[in-house]
Amino acid sequence: MKNYKPKNRLTTQAYIDGVLSGDRVILSRAITVIESNLESDKILAKEIVQGILPHSGKSIRIGITGVPGVGKSTFIEAFGLHLVKKGHKVAILSIDPSSQRSKGSILGDKTRMEELANLQEAYIRPSASGDTLGGVANKTGETMLLCEAAGYDVVLIETVGVGQSETAVHGMTDFFLLLMLSGAGDELQGIKKGIMEMADLVVINKADGDNITMSKIAQRQYQNALHIFPLSESGWSPVVTTASAIKSIGISNVWKQILKYKTLVDKNGYFLKNRNHQQIKWMYNNINEELKQLFYGSKNIKSELSTLEKGIVASKISPVKAAQQIIDKFKNSFENKNYSNEV
């Protein structure tokens, strides 16, 4: 990668001032810097984030997931419009590590949220691209901080609901909303294990017309199922509601539930505790990713791992011994150099 500096970059201070003043054009340009893979941009990005950091954090961060076909973009449009009507400024981001492989994030197609996209009080940004979920999550996380500094007081982060990205979104939001359909069973298999247990709110979407009865039945089933599951550390019992995004039914209730949650977790201290925990965990996730990179990025290691894997499957070497063997090699090369250096 060349250390080429794009001509059209502003000064760090200009980005910071622009973002803090809520200038949407500068916000977008700052996010472009965050998303860039150029070395010079990476330095600039860190300085921008550092500058806006004290002004970030003042939003409620809502994760939204659901399998394709559940009506996510329609729901986000209706929900976003409701929030704007209530006087909020809404930023809509997404995490979708698959988007660079042209599978496409729903937000890539802004036209699906035409009305919302045209409002000054809403800011829609499709998913950053990247090779690793960790990289994409970093970019979305920093974009979220920028949006908060620019005055957006509700941040919606959507995820496609078919991979690991839900966990990443859950790890950076205050509230997690799962969209589902009635007539479950088959549809459910698109939802990965563990996602259900993350949900603070399950919304049965498309509860309109002939679907109302089925949706009510599904609501009761999910509510019963969720009650059987362990209580979250937040002290909040997950709620199941029905909605029809396309008819704007049940949308205000979703927001009411979120406010109710916020009141609870502000009072019992979980909100702040969870935020701090998430921020610190964000650092450790990055550290652990980098450590793995340091080890697994080596060519020799890669070919040796593949040999060890074969030996393990053939019961020729135990997993513990295999790990010890390769780590010893890594450490020895490290320590020998250390030693020679000191002589």
Q: Which residues bind a second copy (CB under 8 A)?
A: 46, 49-50, 53-54, 56-57, 138, 141-142, 145, 184-185, 188-189, 191-194, 196-197, 221-222, 224-225, 227-232, 276, 279-280, 282-288, 290-292, 294-295, 308-309, 312-313, 315-324, 326-327, 331, 334, 337-338, 340-341
Q: How far apart are the first and last CA of the chain?
A: 36
Nearest 10 degrees: Cα torsion 30, 281, 156, 237 = -170
Q: How many C-beta atoms surround the C-beta of residue 224 within 10 A?
A: 10
Complete edge-to-edge strand list for the sheet that includes strand 154-159: 122-124, 90-95, 154-159, 60-65, 175-180, 201-204, 239-242
| Distance separating alpha carbons of residues 343 and 331, to the nearest angstrom | 18
Token representation of residue 32: 């472009």
**Which residue number, 253 or 286, has a Cβ lying nearer to a second copy?**
286
For residue 331, the minimal CB distance to a second copy (Å) is 7
For residue 106, the minimal CB distance to a second copy (Å) is 22
**Which residue number, 25 or 313, has a Cβ lying nearer to a second copy?**
313
Query: If DSSP codes are grouped into helix, strand and coil, which group holds residue 156?
Result: strand
**Which residue number, 87 or 230, has a Cβ lying nearer to a second copy?**
230
For residue 295, the minimal CB distance to a second copy (Å) is 6
**Which residue number, 122 or 128, has a Cβ lying nearer to a second copy?**
128
For residue 202, the minimal CB distance to a second copy (Å) is 11
For residue 268, the minimal CB distance to a second copy (Å) is 16
**Which residue number, 256 or 316, has a Cβ lying nearer to a second copy?**
316
Token representation of residue 147: 């949006």
